Chains A and B, each alone.
Chain A
Amino acid sequence: MHFVVCAKQIPDPETPPSAFRVNEQTNEVIPAQGIAPVLSQFDAIAAEAALRIKEAGSDVKITVVSMGKESAAAAIKQVLAMGADEGLLLDDDAFQGGDWNGTVKVLSAAIQKLGNVDAVFCGRQAADWDMGQTGVGIAETLGWQAAIIAKDVKVEGDKMVVQRVLPDGFQTVKLPLPSVVTVSNELGEPRYPKLAQIMQAAKKTVTKWSAADLGLDAGAVGASGAQLKLERLFIPQAGGNVIIIEGETPQEQAQNLVNALQADKVL
């Protein structure tokens, strides 16, 4: 079997709030000084899900695919060190500045070009914009089925058995292969690579494909292919105002609190 894990490199979500700045003119995040981008945590968990199936004894090849700049090779290497077999970087200036629509087109084209892919594993959402569209978008584009927000993924015969996290419980679904699954943090922590694997990963070369390699029209992807328009990017002003509710007795304090809440039309 051949699995694809989609991996995105994102600005570090643990950037201290004081170091997080945006350019309100260009609607762009200003990269924080000295803080390197990281692999989106949900994508590491997606890789973990694919690796667990491989470890359970299935004959699986895992290709990790990332659309991004040269620096995204680090994210690919990280998944290779966890145990993935091959790395593929989709890097083209034409891919930059778009929305999920362009990303889906590029990733789907790559998956088609790879050929014979049995399943695609994505994180439930990228930890920067948190849209959660890429996985289902790929399924839609390729005409495959998708199961989202999985906490457990298994392969049984020619079916993929996915346990999904719902707001009020879990749901187990069976999908035909090929399919797309998006994986949630309920699956568990991604593994820590062994040093021997890190060394092996360091020696592997990451294949690079451009828009031309994928046969994509530069005008259909990236900023020019975007369907969403970002109106305004800003850091909200957080503030607080504390009112101490007075009262002689607890009953009186409670009554005063209710009065205040009613006056503010909260109740």
Chain B
Amino acid sequence: MATAEVAFPEGKPARTRVLGAWWSTAVGLAGTGIVVAAEAERTSAGREVFWNEVPGWLAYTLMSALVGLLVYGLVRHASIWMLGKPTPGILADWPNRLRNATRFGLTQDKLRRDRYAGIMHWCILSSIVMLTFVTAQVAIDDDLQLHFLTGNYYLFYSFYGDLFGLIGLVGVGMALYRRYFDNYHRIRWDERVEDHLIIWGLGVVLLSGFFVETFRILATELEQHPDWATWSFVSAGMALFFSVFEMTEPQMLFAHYWSWITHIVIAFGWLGLIVFTKLDHLLFAPVNAFFLRTDAPGRLNAIPNIEEREVFGVGQIQDFTWKQLFELDACVRCGRCTNVCPANLAGQPLSPMHLIQDLKRHLADVGPELQRVGHAGGDVRAVSPVAMVGEVIQDETLWACRTCGACVQECPVLIEHVPTIVDMRRYLVLDEARIPATAQQALENMEMRGHPWRGTAFERTTWMEGLGDVPLFDGSQEYLYWVGCSGSLVERNLPITRSVFRLLREAGASFGVLGQEETCNGDPARRLGNEYLYQILAQQLIETFKSKGVQRVITNCPHCFNTFKNEYPQFGGHFEVLHHTEFLAQAVQQRTLIPKFPIATNTVTYHDSCYLGRLNGVYDAPREILAVLPGAQMREMQRSKSAGLCCGAGGGNMWQEELGERRVNHVRTEEATTTGATGLVSNCPFCIQMFEDGIPAIQPDEESRMRAFDVAELLEQAVLGPDAAKA
């Protein structure tokens, strides 16, 4: 059973990730070196710091300038972030927050999701950190007159200085390759001069550092102390190369002197880019990781005291929280979010990266004026000449979001796009009442009829016909089986409800249903931005649950599951919630359900619904069931588990017309068909509907067509026989 875990659950405890992180290599190396050096017999190895009368004052002057610049930049940034709304209690969960800052800042847990970029970035970051450490030791050694850069430690110091210089150059090389030779798509979506400047600048810093070392070794070690020089294995090699030119000593000194000047000036200049470019992520990314939400990723914030407010959503930039504004500055335009966004993959008008960048630009445009007017006590709501929602961010961009969380999952600097998008949707719906017509109909239907399915010909009890005695929940049973609107009112989902029911009965579960008393739990309203309607529906249902003595719930639908599990506690509804695949997997494990009949579908592929998978970490239970189905062979899709792709229906898009080149369900169905499986299995009534629609579009030939199933339908065939569903 998955439990709610900090950030995105991936089915692996966070500890192993931190322990296994690449950082242990670096730390271990340095640590061991220090111990070895302290234990071993000292040699006389060492060197004069600031040899060759290089102007040490230049380094300190530049460093002071850099510190001044950083302070200026941070203060300027911070004063803009403070335009945002406060976030009370954000420090409360600080131990988890520190863990997140370590996990995502230091060990860069997210970066590995693109292996090449992960290795590249680790090379660069570890090199910068270790070489800063190397340089700092020079300063300490000289300023504090400690002179510890001697003997064995000096040799080891020389070794890891060169090693991490080399690692840094490998990283820079990988970056240059990807940017200029690999024609890699996503880093070109918003390419700017600074991108070139940062990587070339770093290359020059690292190379000039090696040249400083090279000419010093050439002049003082190569012949005099070749056994010392070999520890600086890169520089010594370079010195060996330069020795063939037979330079005179003044030439060596000259080359060393100017290499040093170049190195120092470019290094501090490069660090100065932190203030002006995306290099600021060096500071902001770990801090943003610290402020990352520590509750369930599938939960949206409640608007507190909604009936007493004047503004409900976010229509102006200063209505975001300071954290949401801070996030904008952490973005490095890497494009990982857009690269996995289902809307973007289908050519629809949403790119999470551009959304963040557009907001960032808008903040830069209006922020200073907002500050000025705010200080003068003026009307800040009248400041902006353009509407943030509608002009800076188009309505259709906001509506295209599936709230699937793929962007949030991928973001290496921990930006949370989905809550920001929903905040703006709330503005559209609650403040402006500007909604696509079909979505409006779904909302009105929820208001009037308690379900989003306008025009359904079914009743909440239709699925019960022919099933014999269907027990109503009266508080005496262990579980409430929550059927949901789709499970009872949408034709394709009715057989799934029946399958789950028959399996629960077969497993001997103690359960009952609510029948006519079920109403929408509010999830689609909340995702569509109507927080008011959501709160009304949620509070009503929580009351119903409490009055009936509901404690444990089995849901048909992952959206109901997420709402009950993660969102109802916001309103005092604390229930133990299982998705039907979790309960059924348990029953199979406990042998209360025994799959014995071979199923007709011999190859299956499994689609992780976003709200069960990515947002709640339930990846294994459905797969455990599929693994024990007699006669079924599993074929995973390329995008699966936490990298799964939305079916297209999430975020209220079940009830919207799609704008763009393709439909998301066609894209996903196509991915499923490439596995060659004959059954496309999911766990969500929306996904199933999307695939029922997508399969005929991708596979026009009816004879050889793939079929969409819920996990429960196949399990029922295996447990109760192929004819059970017909009975």
Contact = CB atoms under 8 A, between A and B. Distances in A.
Contacts of B433: 191-194
A192 B437 CA distance: 9
Interface string B415-450: 000000000000001111101010010011000110
- For chain A, the bracket of interface size reads 20 to 34
Contacts, number: 49
Contacts of A198: 532
A33 B516 CA distance: 8
Interface residues of B, number: 27
B443 A192 contact: yes
B430 A19 contact: no
Contacts of B431: 194-196
Given A192-B433, A192-B440, A195-B532, A35 B449 contact: yes
- The A contact surface, by secondary structure, is loop
A167 interface: no
A140 interface: no
Interface stretch (B126-134, B158-166, B457-465): B457-465
B430 A194 contact: yes
The B interface is mostly helix, strand or loop, or mixed, namely helix
A16 B454 contact: no
A22 interface: no
A249 to B, nearest CB: 26
B312, B433, B444, B462: most-surrounded residue (chain A CB, <10 A): B433
Given A18-B459, A195-B312, A196-B310, A38 B448 contact: yes
Interface in A9-41: 12, 14, 16-19, 33-36, 38
A199 B444 contact: no
B440 A14 contact: no
B572 interface: no
A252 interface: no
A12 B450 CA distance: 12
A189 interface: yes
B516 A199 contact: no
Given A12-B449, A36-B448, A189-B440, A194 B432 contact: yes
Contacts of B454: 14
A189 B433 CA distance: 13
A195 B449 contact: no
A195 B430 contact: yes
B528 to A, nearest CB: 11
A227 B192 CA distance: 80
Given A14-B454, A19-B459, A33-B516, A192 B444 contact: yes
Contacts of B460: 34
B28 interface: no
Nearest to B311: A196
Contacts of B443: 192
Contacts of A33: 516
B48 interface: no
Contacts of A36: 448-449
A199 B459 contact: no
A198 B431 CA distance: 11
A195 B305 CA distance: 13
A103 B455 CA distance: 29
Contact of B437 (A17, A19, A189): A189
Contact of A34 (B307, B457, B516): B516
B456 interface: yes
A19 B516 CA distance: 11
Given A16-B462, A194-B430, 18 more contacts: A12-B449, A18-B458, A18-B459, A33-B516, A34-B516, A34-B517, A35-B449, A38-B448, A189-B437, A192-B433, A192-B435, A192-B440, A193-B433, A195-B306, A195-B312, A195-B429, A195-B431, A198-B532
23 contacts: A14-B454, A14-B456, A16-B456, A16-B457, A16-B462, A17-B457, A18-B457, A18-B458, A18-B462, A34-B460, A35-B449, A36-B449, A189-B440, A192-B429, A192-B433, A192-B440, A192-B443, A194-B430, A194-B431, A194-B432, A194-B433, A195-B429, A196-B431
Closest 3 CB pairs of A and B: A195-B430, A194-B433, A192-B433
Interface of B: 306-307, 310, 312, 429-433, 435, 437, 440, 443-444, 448-449, 454-460, 462, 516-517, 532
